[in-house]
Each structure stands twice: as C-alpha cells, then as structure tokens.
A and B are shown apart, each in its own frame.
Chain A
Amino acid sequence: MTVKHSERRYSEVTGRAVLYAILIIVAIYYLIPLAIMISTSFRDMNDIRFGHLIDLPSSLSLEAWRMAWSEVQIGARRQLGLRPYFINSLLITIPAVTISVIVGALNGYVLSFWRFKGSNIFFALLLFGCFLPFQAILLPQATVLGKIGLSGTIPGLILTHVVYGVAFTTLFYRNYYVSLPGELVKAAQLDGAGFWRIFWRIILPLSTPITVVAVIWQFTQIWNDFLFGVAFSSPRSQPVTVGLNNMVNSSTGEVRYNVDMAGAIIAALPTLAVYIIAGKYFVRGLTAGSVKG
C-alpha cells in the first residue's frame, strides 16, 4: 500500500515537472522575438553582421535608438526619425479613446437602464459594426473626409476612429451594465434622481473595471491601427505604425536591423506598457464579460 502510494506520488511529481517544462518552453517561444528585438536594438551593425542572431550585445550602443527616434530619413520627409509619427499617434489616440469611451458608456447606460422602443434593434444594428471589415467603408469614408475638409488630417483620423470604435465601447458597457441590478436605478428614480444624476452618482462609480477594459481595448486598437492610418493620412499626419513601415521599407543601401528593431520597440512601447501595467484587467474584464454576459 505504501509502495503504491509513493509510486503514485512519483508519477504525479514527474507529471508536474513535464507540465512546467512545456509551459516554460512555450513562454520562451513567445518571448524570443521580443528578446532578440531588444538585444539587437542595442547592438551595432558590425556586431550584427558577424555575431549570432541570439546573442547579447557586445557593447551597449544607444546609436540605433537615437537613429530610429530622431535621425533616420523616412521617405522624403523633412523631419527625421519616428518622433513626429509618434507624436501624431498620441494626438490621434488620446482624443479618439476618450471620446469613444465616453460615448460608449452613455450608450451602454441607455441601452441597459433607459430602454426605449426600438432600442434593441438599435443595439443589434450597432453590433454588426464590431465585425465590419473596414475595407467595405474605406472608399466612402475617404470621399466624405475629403468633402468635409478633413482629408489627411489628424481630426479626420480621430473622427474615423471614434466612429468605428463606438460599436465596441457600447458593447462593452452595455454588457457590463446589464449585469448590474436594475433595482439600483429604480430606487434612485423613486428618490427623484434624473438621468444624469443616476449616471454620475450610481452608475459611473461602479464602472471602473469595464472602463479599464474599454480604454485598453480602444487604446491598443487605435494605436496599432495601420489601415486607417495609411488610407486617410497625409505625410504630416501619419501615425507611428505607418512611419515604422515606411522606415523599414524605404531604407536604401544596407538594411540596418538594429535601427529597425529599435523603431519597432518604439512603436510598440506604449501599448506594451499599458498591457504590462493593466493587463490583469484585460483578462479579468474578458472573464467578467463572457461569464456574466
């Protein structure tokens, strides 16, 4: 009996070891591209030419970072480096996230607590917007932006991101609010509180988790966008994803991988930072949303 027991324990321990080994190997697979990216960005070109792919930099060189940020010639642009593109991305992303999240929260509030005739149809109509392949609206949107004089401008891109982001934020908030007890609002109504007061005093304070989810979602979507950025921008308003792509593809002569990698990290840094700081919320929100529904 004791022998059997210890055998079983033994197999359980090896089982755990195999389990951890698999999980760690997979983790390495996900991390290697990032590790190579980071180490390459600190190497100089000689080091890359004669060294291994996976190798620590022989000396810590910030040259590639400086080049990518403010010195490399991208296209025919007068300002050098990714910096102007990065600033454009900030100017596009911050207002677009703010507006789309506020509108989504209000829509969700109405669709959960202030239903009107046809509000479900409205929600269903909007829901399709989450799945819309943007190619199907690209040409009309380009025409309309041209007509209202926003073609190739940052406000034009903000408008586009808000318009096509509201479907997502509304869905997030609506599904979250629906899970809150309706009595909250009913009781407040009996006390004479109105639409805005209930929103500010009761609903908004309960909205932190879903707001974190909506902000992270919108921020990553808009910061990482390339399609709108390339279709609706002019050289002066291009976001960082477009800048990076131009940089990687326009370099003449020898490809400077260290500069490319530094540029890629620069473009990825804001969303990575948001994810690392608040990623827990993303999964938590995902869980909450899909279970409570």
Chain B
Amino acid sequence: MTQSVSTPEPVRTVRKVRKPSLGDRLAEQIPRLVVSPTLLIAVVFIYGFMLWTLVLSFSNSRILPSYGFIGLQNYERLFGNERWTVAITNLAIYGVLFVVICLAIGLLLAILLDQKIRAEGFLRTVYLYPMALSFIVTGTVWKWLLNPTVGIQRFVRELGFEDFRFDWLVNSDMSIYTIVIAAVWQSSGFVMALFLAGLRGVDDSIIKAAQIDGASRITIYTRIIIPSLRPVFFSAIIMLSHIAIKSFDLALALTGGGPGFSSDLPAIFMYQFSFTRGQMGVGAASAIIMLMGVMAILIPYLYSELRVKKDDR
C-alpha cells in the first residue's frame, strides 16, 4: 500500500514473422488466463459484494437476508439510534487522535533514529514489534494494565501516590481514550518505519548544499526534509485512518465497547447488529456508511496520485 504506483514503458511482445500457430495464439492468452481468477475475485468478491451489501441495506433483512425493498428505512433507523451516534462520534475522536499522535511520534522517532545512532537496528526492532501482534493480544495486555484495581493505578498508588487516579477503562467519559493509548502503542512504530524509509530516500545533495549555505540543522529539517516527506505523510494518513475506521478487534478486546456502549465503534456496531442482534438491514446500512467513509478519504488520495502521474509524463 505504501508503494507509489508508477507506469513504466510496457514491454512489447516480440512480433513473430511467421504466421501464428494455434499454440502461439494459445500462448498469447496465458497472461490473461493467469490473472482471470483474480479478475473474478475483484469483480465478484469485492465489487459484487459491495453492491450486494448496498442492496441489503435497502432491504427488510433481519436474521437472514431477504429482499423486500424498504427504501431508506434502515438508514433512518441507523441514524435515529443513539448507539450509532455514539459510535461515529467515538470514531471521530479516536481517529483524529490516533492519526495525529502516531504521525507525531513516528516522525519524531524517525528523525531521532536518523542521526547515525549506534544501535539503530535494535531500537528499530523494539519500536516496531507491537505491529507484529494481533490487536486482540494488544487489547488483552492493555486491558490488564489499564484496569484500575490491578494495573497502573494500583502500581502508582503503591509507590505512595495514594490519590492517583487512572480509571479511564471503567469511566464512560474516558473509555474511548484507552483505545487511543493502546492503538498508538501498537501502530506508532510502523509510522516510524515509514518515515525512516522516507528520510533515507531524501536526496543528499540538496541537504549538503543547504549545509554549505550555512543552514542550521533545524532549518534543514523544517524547510527541506519534512516538506519533502509529503508523500509519506499522505500514505501514512491513509493507512492510519483506514486502520481506525476498521478498528474492531482492539476495541472489542480492550473495552468490549463499554462501559455501556460508551466506547462503541462503527465496526462493533456493524458486527453486532448484523450477526448477533438480528438486524441485518441496519447492519448493512452501517457497513455502507463505513465504506463511504473510507471512500471519502481514499478518492482524493487516488485522484492526487493519478494527477501526479500525469504531470510526470
């Protein structure tokens, strides 16, 4: 996903002088045959199913799919549902904080690591390892650390700070922030890796020229290096918002959407309405809203990618 899409010169198949035999013509079709299963996947399992979900969102499906058309009723029920309002508000809070904090930590760590650090490989491994974990594992661990009666709160109190309070996990005003804490812990190292890769790709000659001109290190970073990382910012934001919108397992393992439904997220809402509460139509409607959310972020991104491509030519 991070790789930029570019189109080099196509490789032309060599024209044979003699008349093509049946075997040759068959051979010419091999590339198409090879990709055809994937084409089927794309058309049926991605686009076909998206349309199917759209149809379900206009239907009277409850526990099982059914196809009685009921117009926008599911959407009306969805947006009339207080739980959904809480879920999308939570997603906005969580999404913005998650993306911004990950970008800040990731960029800072990448810049610090780029100063010819001795144990860079080791530190990088340490910063990046949470990304190898399942969100369920992360949720399980942080659920314990953030539990006021056994985790960090108790630990700090035992150190002598008896008034210390850190009960966000069981506080319905704050529970959504615990998801931010755990998610940032898990993903910020990954953003660091993206930025570090970007920093290594910055043209050295420009930096050398600036140094000769007497620019300070801070100026070089703020004026030259960080602006040149624009594409990295862009793809990091896309990937992080995408993770945020899909967030399901982490919230489920950490807070279960609670206390009450105070830390509910659209993905949990969608799953529960579709699979456990027998309101498939409403679940499908919520899935379509989530899809539209992703598209709203993605389309400007793809658009700018394609435009850049045209300018290159």
Q: Which residues of A contact B (CB under 8 A)?
A: 19-20, 22-23, 26-27, 29-31, 33-34, 36-37, 40, 48, 52-54, 103, 106-107, 109-116, 119-120, 122, 125-143, 163-164, 166-168, 170-172, 175, 178, 182, 185-186, 189-190, 194-196, 220, 223-227, 230-231, 241, 244-245, 248-249, 257, 260-261, 263-264, 267-268, 271-272, 274-276, 279-280, 282-283, 286-287, 289-291, 293
Contact yes or no, A164 B45, CB < 8 A:
yes
| Residue contacts A-B, CB under 8 angstroms, 14 given | A22-B112, A23-B117, A30-B129, A34-B129, A53-B145, A110-B35, A133-B291, A172-B3, A224-B135, A226-B249, A227-B267, A283-B124, A283-B197, A293-B6
Chain B residues with CB under 8 Å of A141's CB are: 45, 49
Is B56 an interface residue, CB under 8 A from the partner? yes
CB distance from A125 to the nearest CB of B (A): 5
Main SS class of interface, A: helix
How many whole Å from A172's CB to the nearest CB in chain B?
A: 8
| B160 proximal to A (CB < 8 A) | no
- Given the known inter-chain contacts A53-B151, A227-B248, A241-B249, please indicate yes or no for A36 contacting B158, CB distance below 8 A: no
- Complex Cα–Cα for A34 and B186 (A): 12
Minimum CB–CB distance for B70 against chain A, Å? 16
For residue A220, give the distance in angstroms from its CB to the closest CB of chain B: 6
Nearest residue, chain A, Cβ from B283: A139
Question: Please, how many residues of chain B have a CB less than 8 angstroms from a CB on the other chain?
Answer: 106
The answer to whether B52 and A140 have CB atoms under 8 Å apart is yes
If A122-B39, A122-B42 touch, whether A171 touches B246 (CB-CB below 8 Å) is no
Q: Is the CB of B136 within 8 A of A245?
A: yes
Contact of A271 among B133, B201, B291 (CB under 8 A): B133
- Nearest-CB residue, chain A, relative to B31: A114
Q: B259: CB under 8 A from chain A?
A: no
Contacts of A260 in B (CB 8 A): 140, 144
Cβ-based interface call for B47 (8 A): yes
A245 CA to B133 CA in the complex, in Å?
14
A106 to B126, Cβ gap below 8 A? no
**Which chain B positions have C-beta within 8 A of A137?**
45-46, 49-50, 53
CA distance A164 to B50 in the complex (A): 13
Report A267 CB to chain B, min CB distance, Å: 5
B252/A257 in contact, CB under 8 A:
no
CB within 8 Å for A220 and B132 given contacts A138-B287, A289-B3: yes
Given known A-B contacts A133-B291, A186-B11, A257 and B249 have beta carbons under 8 A apart:
no
Also in contact, A274 and B242, with CB within 8 A (given A30-B126, A163-B41, A293-B4): no
| Interfacial chain B residues near A241, Cβ < 8 Å | 134, 136-137, 249
> Contact at A126–B42, with CB atoms within 8 Å?
yes
Q: Which of B93-101, B220-228, B268-276 is the contact stretch?
A: B268-276
Q: Which residues of A have CB within 8 Å of B142?
A: 33
Is residue B210 within 8 Å, beta carbon to beta carbon, of the partner chain? no
Please tell me if B78 contacts chain A, counting CB pairs below 8 Å.
no
Residues A244 and B31 in contact in the complex (CB < 8 Å), given A19-B115, A185-B11, A290-B198: no
Q: A268–B53 contact, CB under 8 A?
A: no
**Set of chain B residues within 8 Å of A287, measured between Cβ atoms:** 197, 200-201
Q: Flag if B155 contacts A54 (CB, 8 Å).
A: yes
Pair A27/B123 contact, Cβ less than 8 Å: yes
Q: Which of B285-300 contact A (CB under 8 A)?
A: 286-288, 290-291, 293-294, 298
Interface positions of B from 18 to 70, Cβ below 8 Å from A:
27, 30-32, 34-35, 37-39, 41-43, 45-50, 52-53, 56, 65
Tell me which of A33, A166, A257, A272 has the highest count of chain B C-beta atoms within 10 A of its own C-beta: A33
Determine if A107 and B5 form an interchain contact, defined as CB atoms under 8 angstroms apart.
Answer: no
- Across the interface, do A115 and B10 meet the contact criterion of CB distance under 8 Å? yes
- CB pair A264–B141 under 8 Å, yes or no, is yes
- A126 and B7 in contact (CB under 8 A), knowing A33-B185, A136-B288, A268-B134? no
- Give the docked Cα–Cα distance between A119 and B76 (Å): 41
Q: How far is the CA of A128 from the CA of B242 in the complex (A)?
A: 12
* Contact between chains at A52 and B65 (CB < 8 Å): no
Which chain A residues border B30 with CB–CB below 8 Å? 114, 194-196
Task: Using CB atoms, name the residue of chain A closest to B306.
Answer: A124
Docked pose: A287 CA to B196 CA in angstroms: 8
User: Which residue of A23, A34, A167, A195 contacts B112 across the interface (Cβ within 8 Å)?
Assistant: A23
Task: Name the A residues within 8 Å of B43 (CB-CB).
Answer: 125
**Nearest A residue to B64 by beta-carbon distance?**
A143
Nearest first, the 9 A-B pairs at minimum CB distance are: A224-B134, A114-B31, A275-B132, A226-B249, A293-B4, A289-B3, A175-B3, A53-B155, A140-B49
Q: Does A113 lie within 8 Å of B11, measured CB to CB? A: yes
Q: Please tell me if the beta carbons of B249 and A227 are within 8 angstroms of each other in the complex.
A: yes
The answer on a CB contact under 8 Å between B141 and A33 is yes
**B11: which A residues are within 8 A, CB to CB?**
112-115, 182, 185-186
Q: Is the CB of B134 within 8 A of A267?
A: yes
Q: Give the residues in chain B near A139, CB-CB below 8 Å.
A: 52-53, 56, 65, 274, 280, 283-284, 287
Instruction: State whether A276 and B50 are in contact (beta carbons under 8 Å apart), knowing that A134-B246, A138-B287, A290-B198 are contacts in the complex.
Output: no
B-side contacts of A133, CB under 8 Å: 242, 245-246, 267, 287, 290-291, 293-294
Q: In the complex, which residues of chain B have a beta carbon less than 8 angstroms from the beta carbon of A290?
A: 2-4, 194, 197-198, 201, 232, 235
Q: Which of A53, A106, A132, A227 interacts with B150 by CB under 8 Å?
A: A53
